[in-house]
């Protein structure tokens, strides 16, 4: 999740899914975004309405026939995608019409569970109904943001929203915040360095210190530096681990995958 568009949610989702697959974890990417970024990022064609998440959110039509597309089969096994896109604009109306509207995704997973180890919900850029659907269905929330003042402030508002809305929905157990991932980090940008606590005299107002001082401390992952490589990989519908396996940024996605695996099994 994030509170803005273009923060790199799909980038983090796709690359984390690949790293989980490398660890032997079967993973499904679920595109909860009407913009349908995952089709582009995974090299898939835009599907018909009946082959998207919109079908899953139609209780009268969905009978457990999850519209899953395998991805990167010639490179790695165990990764699939349930795509979003324009049909989700219409599907969102059902959320207000159905008695258990906000639980449509959660109910679908309970009634027709997928056998994959990990599901990754890629949410829209701003808080809306699909954030609510994902929150009701998830176990953890991963927040992606840019390391600037505006984005960080929005990120803390999103954290507050998660806490408040999971209570409102009476989710039990409540989804936990897995961590925050700073994306598009520029080492030559003073604001970015200051927020990350690099070379500052007073660390009390830096992102690492604030996150650790919360009643429930939140993990801060290493920042993903600004680079064209991620965009180039996405243009080919590939994760960076396939497009440029030796690139150091892959270690950030590996660490996220390891944290997810740790929450699944208690082991690293």
pLDDT digits (tens, 9 = 90+) for 82-124: 999 999 999 998 888 999 999 999 999 999 999 999 999 999 9
Is the CB of residue 88 less than 8 Å from the CB of residue 30? Answer: no
* CA atoms of 90 and 165, how far apart (whole Å): 24
pLDDT at 267 exceeding the cut of 70: no
Q: How large is the C-alpha radius of gyration of the chain? A: 18
CATH of residue 178's domain is: 3.40.50.300
Tokens of 97: 């019409």
Higher pLDDT: 101 or 4? It is 101
For residue 69, the SS3 value is strand
Determine the pLDDT at residue 10: 96
Total structural domains in the chain?
1
Determine the pLDDT at residue 100: 94
Q: CA end-to-end span of the chain, whole Å?
A: 24
Higher pLDDT: 75 or 199? It is 75
* CA atoms of 165 and 211, how far apart (whole Å): 20
Q: Is residue 4 part of a domain?
A: no
pLDDT in tens, 133-160: 999 999 999 999 999 999 999 999 999 9
Q: Is residue 3 part of a domain?
A: no
pLDDT at 266 exceeding the cut of 70: no
- Span 63-82, mean pLDDT? 97
Q: Which domain covers residue 83, as residue numbers?
A: 9-263
Q: Is residue 24 part of a domain?
A: yes
- Residue by residue, DSSP assigns 165-189 as HHHHTT-SSPPEEEEEEEEEE-TT-
Name the strand (E) or helix (H) holding 239.
none
Task: Give the Å distances, CA to CA, from 137 to 17, 76, 120, 169, 232.
Answer: 18, 27, 11, 11, 32
Q: Is residue 109 part of a domain?
A: yes
Tokens of 178: 């897995």
Query: What value does the mean pLDDT of the chain take?
Result: 94
Determine the pLDDT at residue 94: 84
pLDDT in tens, 213-249: 999 999 999 999 999 999 999 999 999 999 999 999 9
pLDDT in tens, 168-191: 999 999 999 999 999 999 999 999
pLDDT at 265 exceeding the cut of 80: no
| 241 closest CA partner among 27, 72, 61 | 72
pLDDT at 201 exceeding the cut of 70: no
Query: Which distant-in-sequence residues (6+ apart) come within 8 Å of 88 by Cβ?
Result: 32, 33, 34, 36, 52, 53, 54, 130
* CA atoms of 28 and 17, how far apart (whole Å): 8
For residue 30, the SS3 value is strand
What is the share, in percent, of the chain residues with pLDDT greater than 90?
89
Q: Is residue 23 part of a domain?
A: yes
Determine the pLDDT at residue 96: 87
Q: Is residue 114 part of a domain?
A: yes
pLDDT at 268 exceeding the cut of 80: no
pLDDT in tens, 56-67: 999 999 999 999
Q: Is residue 268 part of a domain?
A: no
β-pairing, 79-82 with 140-145?
Answer: unpaired
């Amino acid at each position: 999740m994030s509170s803005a568009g273009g923060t790199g949610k799909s980038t983090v989702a796709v690359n984390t899914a690949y790293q989980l697959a490398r660890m032997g974890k079967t993973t499904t990417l679920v595109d909860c975004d009407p913009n349908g970024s995952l089709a582009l990022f995974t090299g898939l064609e835009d599907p018909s309405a009946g082959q998207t998440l919109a079908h899953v959110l139609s209780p009268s039509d969905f009978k457990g026939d999850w519209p899953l597309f395998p991805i990167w089969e010639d490179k790695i096994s165990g990764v699939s995608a349930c795509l979003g896109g324009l049909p989700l604009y219409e599907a969102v109306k059902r959320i207000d019409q159905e008695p258990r509207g906000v639980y449509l995704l959660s109910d679908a997973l309970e009634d027709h569970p997928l056998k994959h180890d990990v599901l990754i919900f890629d949410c829209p850029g701003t808080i809306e109904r699909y954030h609510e659907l994902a929150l009701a269905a998830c176990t953890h929330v991963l927040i992606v943001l840019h390391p600037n003042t505006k984005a960080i402030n929005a990120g803390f508002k999103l954290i507050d929203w998660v806490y408040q809305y999971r209570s409102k929905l009476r989710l039990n157990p409540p989804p936990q915040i897995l961590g925050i991932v700073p994306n598009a980090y520029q080492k030559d940008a003073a604001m970015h360095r200051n927020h990350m606590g690099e070379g500052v005299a007073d660390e009390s107002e830096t992102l690492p210190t604030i996150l650790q001082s919360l009643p429930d401390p939140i993990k801060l992952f290493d920042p993903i530096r600004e680079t064209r490589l991620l965009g180039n990989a996405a243009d080919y519908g590939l994760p960076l681990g396939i497009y440029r396996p030796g690139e150091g940024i892959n270690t950030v996605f590996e660490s996220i995958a390891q944290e997810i695996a740790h929450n699944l099994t208690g082991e690293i």
